[in-house]
Structure 1
């Protein structure tokens, strides 16, 4: 294949996260609104250009009170910083279909370099002849690196919300004409 533009298929993609709660369990959530600009050769992602944007107000943990707290100034402050963005800067092949994608992650007014493990899941044509590709990505970020430091101490020791956020993406894209 050659480098092509790919349109994100949001109906077949997801952006999920999890974080430790009370040091004894994990809370999972998703972002329902996101977009991407992808220029890539799926058979060799090392030359890809990837920009990804998440609308933070679309956070969904299946609990309205928690979601509203996450949107507030204690966490995302969506009125002042409505999006989280990622722009790739370096992509290194680790195995046949696995890559380390490093880039600049901007959240809550701060930008840090983060690396995610990305797997090319394959390609195929849909029933209408459109070429589709699939990718999965996972990684971890520390929310305190982005100034998201709200927390509450627990009577038994420890804190209410963990610092490390696990991120998991499932992405499907369609080759643009």
Structure 2
């Protein structure tokens, strides 16, 4: 039986469940296709205020070394200074600065995204996908969100020209967040 609680009862502190959360990305490759990948090591916390969502906060730390596109040679290149420079900048961080409720299930979360040594404000559109009590008695909350960023704005400028025109790697990167968070205490 799937038991849910009213959204106003969700107030509390939460931790991302890495086994059931995906932090991924999509990048245009060679002007013709998309490459998808994910980060497998991250941690995140949130304080949700069900009655006053504007009082909610969240933060995530992603380990750049954990990038995975399914092609080890490409992943190794993405970890170099051409892209993420994982040895020098081991973390990508996001810290919320504002939460705005747009509807019963839609929220805009604005915060500071830091990639390499550049911090920029971004606004992520999230959809609240529900809550449930899992078989272990934990209250879980689901959120799905995405945002498109310019990698060049974060100092990731490496590229290669294509013979027929265009470039190997597109500038626009879609960050995708499928979150399962567990209420603490």
Instruction: State the TM-score, normalized to the length of structure 1.
Output: 0.96
Cα distance change of structure 1 residues 98 and 140 upon mapping to structure 2, 3 Å threshold = same
- TM-aligned CA deviation for residue 41 of structure 1: 2.4
* Aligned match of 2:12: 4
Provide closer, same or farther for how the CA distance between residues 2 and 63 of structure 1 changes in structure 2, counting only shifts above 3 A. closer
8 Å Cα contact 1:42-1:133 kept in structure 2: no
Query: In structure 2, which of residues 171, 176, 182 is the aligned counterpart of residue 168 of structure 1?
Result: 176
Structure 1 equivalent of residue 88 of structure 2: 80
Match of 1:154 in 2: 162
Structure 2 CA distance, aligned partners of 1:42 and 1:23? 43
Determine the C-alpha separation between the residues in 2 that align with 1:25 and 1:42: 40
Q: What secondary structure sits across from 1:75 in the alignment? A: coil
Contact kept? 2:11, 2:51, Cα under 8 Å: no
1:112-151 correspondence runs (5 A): 112-151=120-159
Q: Of the candidates 73, 78, 89, which is equivalent to residue 65 of structure 1? A: 73
Do the aligned residues in 2 keep the contact of 1:74 with 1:150 (CA within 8 Å)? yes
The answer to whether the 8 Å contact 1:31/1:58 transfers is yes
Aligned to 2:64: 56
Give the number of aligned pairs.
Answer: 177
Q: Distance in 1 between matches of 2:53 and 2:37?
A: 28
Give CA-to-partner distance per residue, 1:59-83, whole Å, 9 cap, x none: 0000010000000011100111111
* Runs of 5+ consecutive residues of structure 2 not aligned to the other structure: 1-8
Q: Secondary structure at the match of 2:152?
A: helix
Q: CA deviation at 1:45?
A: 3.0
Question: How many Å separate the matches in 2 of 1:68 and 1:97?
Answer: 38
Mapped pair 1:14 → 2:15: no
In the aligned structure 1, how far is the partner of 2:10 from the partner of 2:34? 41
Alignment RMSD (CA, Å): 1.2
